[in-house]
Structure 1
Amino acid sequence: MSLDLLAALRREGDRLASMPVDALSSPVPTVPGWTVEHVVRHTGKVHRWANAVILAGPGADTGAVAKSQVESLPKGPDCLPAYRAALDAVVATFEQVDPESTVETFVGARTAAWWLRRQAHEVAVHRIDAADAVHAAGGPAPDAIDPEAAADAVAELTEVQYPHRLLLDRLTPASIGRTVHVHGTDVDDLEWTFTLGADGLTSTRGHGKADVALRGTAEHLLLVLCRRRPLDVVTVFGDTSVAESLLDASRF
């Protein structure tokens, strides 16, 4: 799979920046309490944070950078041009820095390419949030996420979010030691098996047997795993309760 993450970031960021002004107050169906404005302001602030951390260089305190150098986006209609500016700024930084240069992240020292991947997939999911709100208010259905980008987002979820942000205390006792397999139908290399453990989740890439299997497009699998779509948008084989336990612990 050959994936241009910078192009993915631009594409999804452009889509979010193009949300209609009159939809800013529309509620997001899958994120209770949020509106399109919340999505735009949150994602723009995340771009600003990533940009500031990269520019701060190795050894930067990501939390301190967030508090001292990153301003919230303005409220109301001005959030859209402010989001566009935040997107343009972080894209410009990614165009200029060596992707293999060492930078800080919320999981320790990584490369600038790590942040590019995180930003591309962050905005993809949140763009769906905003587009879902527009659709629920009578607008067009959301444009699909590129299948290769969605498949890589599932991989990033597995490699970054699950090890560091899974709410282990929400896993049901009955699900500990059990397994979930995901299988993409539109991208060749989208197959993972997750083992749920009391002290964390382990993952294996490739085909495997599991207590429950989820089969669907890369986009549907990503959005199910991110709790943006119900389980019934994919085909489920086996013990649904194991998948539900994983999803309940994925509240991030």
Structure 2
Amino acid sequence: MTMVHRWAAAVLRGDRDHDTERSHAEGTAAPDPFAWFSAGLDDLVATLRAAPDDAEAPVFLKDAPRPRLFWARRQAHETTIHSVDALAASLGGPPPTADVPVTPALAADGIDELLCGFLPRRRSTLRSLEPRTVVVRCADTGHSWSVRISEEPAVAAAGTTALAAAERPDAVFGGTAAQLYLALWNRAFEVAVDGLAELVEQWRTQVRVEWG
């Protein structure tokens, strides 16, 4: 996990000599994995705090904020989602949302990053031969998004004002921000679906965010 922390810190610092394969090997061989994890996380936090607001560094998502905020946000969700994976491994299955300590604000931000940042990328695999529209609504925070799915990369927008007045979404995914966060990142599914139920399975099979 903190191979990614070390990589993100190196990118933000402009360290072109960082070797992710070597970092991964060091982590795998570390006699104390938790100490190695903590050292990488501490270095990332220190790098984020030291970086100026106008720091120049590469980013890779659509609709991305400035690099310092981009990397803080990306690593916050990277770490949170993989902490859910660790909890799931210890439980032998997806944890109930109530057992995941994620705030509504963080969850809503993570949904926004996925829908407006990851899904519109050319490498995203969410596609449909027949155009579909999914609306995502957070019952507790009031946030909502519309996602248009077609043969091209998805088009996502915060709010539903982009929908035509007479347009009816093919499905609405509803629940708390935390429930939707875990569901849309494919870690659990405790949300209500109003509309085409097959869009749930399509989401589960087609929405994948992987290291590349």
Query: Which range, TM-score by smaller chain?
Result: 0.7 to 0.9
With normalisation by structure 2, the TM-score equals 0.82
Q: Which has the higher contact order (CA 8 A, sep 6+)?
A: 1
Choose from 12, 24, 42 the match for 1:54: 12
Q: Which runs of 5+ in 2 are unaligned?
A: none
Q: 1:212 aligns with which of 168, 171, 176?
A: 171
Consecutive unaligned residues in structure 1, runs of 5 or more: 1-42
Aligned match of 1:126: 82
Give me the whole-angstrom Cα distance separating, in 1, the residues matched to 2:22 and 2:188.
35
The reply to whether residue 167 of structure 1 matches residue 128 of structure 2 is no
2:58 maps to amino acid? E
Question: Is the CA contact (8 Å cut-off) linking 2:128 and 2:149 kept in structure 1?
Answer: no
Match of 1:193 among 126, 135, 146: 146
Instruction: Please tell me whether the aligned partners of residues 172 and 193 of structure 2 are also in contact (alpha carbons under 8 angstroms).
Output: yes
Match of 2:182 in 1: 223
Identify the residue that residue 234 of structure 1 maps to in structure 2: 191
Paired residue secondary structure (2:134): strand
CA RMSD of aligned residues (A): 2.7
Change (3 A) 1:184 1:126: same
Q: Aligned-pair distance for 1:68?
A: 7.1
Q: Partners in 2 of 1:153 and 1:79 — Cα distance?
A: 27
2:98 is the alignment partner of 1:144: no
Distance 1:181 1:246 in 2: 13
> How many equivalent pairs are there?
197
Instruction: Please name the residue that 2:204 is paired with.
Output: 247
Select which of 100, 122, 125 maps to 2:54: 100
1:181·1:212 contact (CA, 8 Å) conserved in 2? Answer: yes
Is 1:182–1:214's contact at 8 Å kept on the other side of the alignment? yes
2:69 is matched with 113
Q: 1:183 aligns with which of 134, 137, 143?
A: 137
- Name the SS for the 1:103 alignment partner: coil
Per-residue CA deviations over 1:24-73 (Å, capped at 9, x if unaligned) read xxxxxxxxxxxxxxxxxxx211101001111116xx5xxx7444774441
Distance 1:248 1:136, change over 3 A: closer
User: With structure 1 as the length reference, what TM-score do the two structures score?
Assistant: 0.70
Q: Give SS of 1:93's match.
A: helix
Q: Distance in 1 between matches of 2:111 and 2:178?
A: 9
Q: Is the 8 A contact 2:120 2:156 kept in 1?
A: no
What are the residue-to-residue correspondences of 1:20-31 with 2, within 5 Å? Answer: none
One-letter amino acid of the counterpart of residue 156, structure 1:
E
> 1:247 & 1:160 partners in 2: Cα distance?
18
One-letter amino acid of the structure 1 residue matched with residue 201 of structure 2: E
